[in-house]
Amino acid sequence: MKRKMTVLGVLTAAAVAVSATVLGTASPAGAAATTLVASWQMNEPAHASVMTDSSGHGINGTIGSTVQTGVVTAGATGYKWPFKKPTALPVEPQRLITVSNSALNPGVRDYAVTFRYRTTQPFGNVIQKGQNASKGGYFKFEQPSGFMTCLFKDGAGSQRAVKSKIATNNGGWHTIRCERTQTGLTMTIDGTTSYRLAGATGSIANSVPLTIGGKSNCDQVTTTCDYFTGQIDWVKIEASS
């Protein structure tokens, strides 16, 4: 049985400030995004084609044929993406998990994405809904040089992005949580270190499926696919009610 971790102790320090205080075992202190939207345990057996939502909302995803399911590592059953350079041809949409459901749009709500992952690579987009040119804005998690970055950009072009100062591509399991509220963006790593950037973003709503493992609209020429290599144990999305 995999351990489900929730992020702890979100602190409102200065922009991209660092803290190391754990406050509890529930959602972060002051968190507003506490209503479960979707929860993907990623514990399906080998050769699964459907990523099942355990929240009860039926927001299931389609698993690309390259994604390996039922992979056990350090006691956790999850999905594995085999190595591929993020900008290498050919384009491989089969490396993606796609989830098409409008409930995954943040809109104007407080909104949080939490996931547990591991990698040894210094590249790749892990999760996103939409891309930079998407009408209605987008959000994404990427790890340039192994440092996780969380970005939310609204439909009017206003954006906030926070980047970890701790590399998380050391091959260990790490839990990442990023929450967008009306006052800013907070990313927490392993429940102990928080980075916050103040400032509001507006409505984010696009017609693009949520993808896990890279971009869906890419050609590796004008737009890179930024494919992810590594493993993911679980993903959870929450929002304000």
**What is the mean predicted confidence (pLDDT) over 165-188?**
96
Three-state DSSP state, 102: helix
Query: Are the C-beta atoms of residues 139 and 155 closer than 8 Å to each other?
Result: no
In angstroms, the CA 69 to CA 232 distance is: 10
Digit-coded pLDDT (tens) for 90-122: 999 999 999 999 999 999 999 999 999 999 999
In the chain, what are the domain boundaries?
35-239
| Residue 65 confidence (pLDDT) above 50 | yes
Cα dihedral: 66, 122, 157, 14 (round 10): 140
Q: CB count, 10 Å around CB of 13? A: 14
- What is the phi/psi pair of residue 144, to 5°? -60, 130
In angstroms, the CA 107 to CA 63 distance is: 26
Q: Would you give the DSSP letter of residue 86?
A: T
Supply the pTM of this predicted model.
Answer: 0.86
In angstroms, the CA 134 to CA 218 distance is: 12
Query: Are the C-beta atoms of residues 82 and 68 closer than 8 Å to each other?
Result: yes
Q: Would you give the DSSP letter of residue 15?
A: B
Could you say which of 3.20.20.70, 3.20.20.80, 3.30.70.1140, 2.60.120.200 is the CATH number of the domain covering 35-239?
2.60.120.200
**Quick one: pLDDT band at residue 30, thresholds 50, 70, 90?**
low
